[in-house]
Amino acid sequence: MSANFNQEEFNRLIKTRRSVFPAQYSGEQVAPQIIEQMLENANWAPTHGLTEPWRFVVFSGAGIQKLADFQAQVYQQTTPAEKFEETKYEKLRNNPRRASHIIAIVMKRQESGKIPEVEEIEAVACAVQNMYLTATVYGVGAYWTSGGITYRPEAKDFLGLGEADKLLGFFYVGQIAKPSPQGNRKPIAEKVTWVLE
């Protein structure tokens, strides 16, 4: 089938997508239309049984400080004094401020539980890749982090999650001041087995 897409451009897009971390952001705002497009594209990820399990909570402006304060507070309240690191606490409180938007990545568990949970998580990961690629096309920095409150029970109330829902991390978005270096992967041939007869 002939495709109406520029295949070379597409392959280049996949390969040039890079994680861009908060220290590389300029601090400027990303246009809301770009964030909307990221979310729209996320919505077209593959999904077994059309459950569309991806949910997003978008933090911006004062919302970012709310998230930052909460994750720092959870760290402080749940870390024994002898293990508490002031630098980690400050990073949790200050790092988010460098982002323009922070998108909490949530898997909403299907009520019936018919589709295996791992497939629902996989569908959400596909949605995140769509956001990553959208960021690349628009020249905006982004990265997926599973830090902060990602695996903390305190996140459930904070984000209004159901008991069986899962927070998979946060997608940071910011204007790029310092681009990431070229990516690096070992050859695909090392990871593929062909069965031909």
Which residues would be at the binding site for ligand FMN (CB under 6 A)? 18-19, 143-147, 169, 180, 183
Is the Cβ of residue 114 or residue 185 nearer to ligand FMN in the bound state?
A: 185
Q: DSSP secondary-structure letter at 196? A: -
Residue whose CB is less far from ligand FMN, 84 or 151:
151
Specify the residue, 15 or 66, whose C-beta has the smaller distance to ligand FMN. Answer: 15
44 vs 151 by CB, closer to ligand FMN: 151
- Among 112, 104, 115, 141, CA closest to 46: 115
What span, in angstroms and rounded, lies between the C-alpha atoms of 34 and 53?
Answer: 22
Cα 123 from Cα 47, distance rounded (Å): 5
The residue with its CB nearest to ligand FMN is 19
Nearest approach in angstroms of CB 79 to ligand FMN is: 18
Measured from the CB of residue 94, what is the shortest distance to ligand FMN in angstroms? 16
**Which CA distances in Å does 27 have to 61, 112, 175?**
11, 43, 7
φ, ψ for residue 102, nearest 5 deg: -130, 125
CB of 9 to ligand FMN, least distance (A): 19
Distances (CA, A) of 173 to 27, 36, 43: 10, 12, 18
User: Please, what is the minimum distance in Å from the beta carbon of residue 76 to ligand FMN?
Assistant: 19
- What phi and psi, each to the nearest 5 degrees, are found at residue 108? -90, 120
The answer to whether the beta carbons of residues 28 and 99 sit under 8 Å apart is no
Nearer residue to ligand FMN within complex by CB, 61 or 146 = 146
Q: What is the CA radius of gyration of the chain?
A: 19
User: Which tokens belong to 184?
Assistant: 């690096």
Closest contact distance (angstroms) between CB of 144 and ligand FMN is 4
Cβ-based nearer residue to ligand FMN, 32 or 90 = 90
**Minimum CB distance to ligand FMN, residue 21 (Å):** 6
Taking the C-alpha atoms of residue 55 and residue 52, their distance in angstroms, rounded to an integer, is 8
